[in-house]
Chain A
Amino acid sequence: MVRIVVPTVWTPQGRTDFEGTPGPLDEVIRDFVARHPEFGRRLLDADGAPLRYVNICIDDDLIPRHQRAAATVGPDAVVTILSPMAGG
């Protein structure tokens, strides 16, 4: 099962861990938003494309912006959403 990790401050309850589905990274993000539309504004643009300024790690690897479209998420991977400015 894919685990998707978001910042503590994205939910009022401070929940950080969510389940996701494996597949192409962009589709994983779209599917995550479909299940949790409250995150849509933070992850997708007005046309429904994943926002490229939001960084994404698959396990311990930060996926460069230009490699996102070709990246794939394995069945047991951890996908961490990393804002370009973290913390604060």
Chain B
Amino acid sequence: MGEMRRVPGGMFRQGTPEWVLDWLDDADQPLPRLWFADETPQFSTVVAPFRIDRFPVTVGEYARFVRDTGYRTEAERRGFGLVYTEHGWVERDGVSWNAPGGPGTGGTEFDDHPVVHVSFTDAQEFAAWCDKRLPTEAEWEFAARGPDFRIWPWGDEWDPGAANTAELHAGPLTSLAAWQQWWRVECARHGPVPRTSPVGAFSERGDSPFGCADMAGNVYEWTSTSSRLYADTVRCDPTVAMAMGRYRVIRGGSWMNFRYQVRCSERMHGDPGGWSSFAHGFRCAADLQR
């Protein structure tokens, strides 16, 4: 189940260097420096050799898991899921992994798209079924950029045709207002359905040094790592600080994001208590000794 890439172990400097925060400060983007502080400081990490899925888990793969096990996701059990409408995030009845925008929005044409509306537990259950596991945060970042720092999986120069981000659909975005305007138009045309793309659609152009695809954009990806700050001295957003020890790290950004949120060292933190959305998926990893 799922093509995997072998990633040799190694030591690397996990996290974001200060020069990237300086660059973000100077960039035409709306978020303050403090918002990115949880990515710092860089620190040395050793990862053992491992394997990781080349692509995020697809709808078709998740369907096989469901057929084989009868598993029902947390969104299915509670009867609703989270989508972003022209009015913001809304819990909508009937939204799930096979109906990502609500009843009637799924279909076999999405079988090669990454699965969404999967909670942390839903992702873990799938991984266990195929004898894999979720990657750690360190493994994910190492697989995305290799031992040397780079902003995006392909390098330090932004390439709008190398990843599925909001900028692929809307053109360059520099403000939340511009993003909202784009999304209002999209919702009016198609409704609040995810703008995922078939996995690998941007290969090899957008691939990581280890040949992993869709590590920038497409869907946010769960990791197994419990959120923590990289140093006790880090001063970050107070609500992000409150997520530490409570949430799990999410990596990669998604089709909803600007270029700045799909960087290899960008961190987000997700509620592992059953929450999911129409932009959240995952990929699996495995130890090498198998």
* B88 within 8 A of partner (CB): yes
Cβ B88 vs Cβ A82 within 8 A: no
- Within 8 Å by CB of A87, from B89, B90, B257, B269, lies B269
Cβ B243 vs Cβ A8 within 8 A: no
- A85 and B268 in contact (CB under 8 A), knowing A8-B34, A8-B35? yes
* B87 within 8 A of partner (CB): yes
In B242-290, the 8 Å CB interface with A consists of 242-243, 246-247, 250, 253, 257, 261, 266-271, 273, 275, 277, 280
State the CA gap A87–B237 with chains docked (Å).
8
User: What 0/1 pattern do residues 91 to 120 of B give for CB contact below 8 A with A?
Assistant: 100000000000000000000000000000
State the CA gap A9–B90 with chains docked (Å).
20
What residues of chain A lie closer than 8 Å to B247, measured between beta carbons?
A: 86
In A27-44, the 8 Å CB interface with B consists of 41-42
* A57 within 8 A of partner (CB): yes
- Within 8 Å by CB of B237, from A16, A42, A84, lies A16
Cβ B91 vs Cβ A87 within 8 A: no
What residues of chain B lie closer than 8 Å to A53, measured between beta carbons?
A: 82, 89, 91, 275
- Within 8 Å by CB of A7, from B38, B239, B275, B277, lies B239
* B240 within 8 A of partner (CB): yes
User: What 0/1 pattern do residues 67 to 88 of A give for CB contact below 8 A with B?
Assistant: 0000000000000111111111
- A57 and B270 in contact (CB under 8 A), knowing A8-B237, A9-B35, A42-B88? no
Cβ B270 vs Cβ A5 within 8 A: no
What residues of chain A lie closer than 8 Å to B267, measured between beta carbons?
A: 87-88
- Within 8 Å by CB of A6, from B34, B88, B236, B239, lies B239
* B11 within 8 A of partner (CB): no
State the CA gap A63–B280 with chains docked (Å).
23
B-side interface size class: 35 or more
* B161 within 8 A of partner (CB): no
Cβ B268 vs Cβ A14 within 8 A: no
Cβ A86 vs Cβ B32 within 8 A: no
A-side interface size class: 20 to 34
Cβ A5 vs Cβ B266 within 8 A: no
* B70 within 8 A of partner (CB): no
Cβ A87 vs Cβ B243 within 8 A: yes
State the CA gap A42–B253 with chains docked (Å).
21
Give the distance to chain A from B11, nearest Cβ to Cβ, in Å. 26
What residues of chain A lie closer than 8 Å to B238, measured between beta carbons?
A: 5, 8, 16, 80
What residues of chain B lie closer than 8 Å to A16, measured between beta carbons?
A: 237-239
Cβ B32 vs Cβ A14 within 8 A: yes
Cβ A80 vs Cβ B242 within 8 A: yes
State the CA gap A47–B246 with chains docked (Å).
30
State the CA gap A87–B87 with chains docked (Å).
21
- Within 8 Å by CB of A86, from B31, B82, B239, lies B239
If A9-B32, A53-B82, A82-B243 are given as contacts, then 6 extra A-B residue pairs at C-beta distance below 8 Å, sorted by A number, are A5-B239, A8-B32, A41-B88, A84-B82, A85-B275, A88-B253
B interface, CB within 8 angstroms of A: 30-32, 34-35, 38, 82, 87-91, 220, 236-240, 242-243, 246-247, 250, 253, 257, 261, 266-271, 273, 275, 277, 280
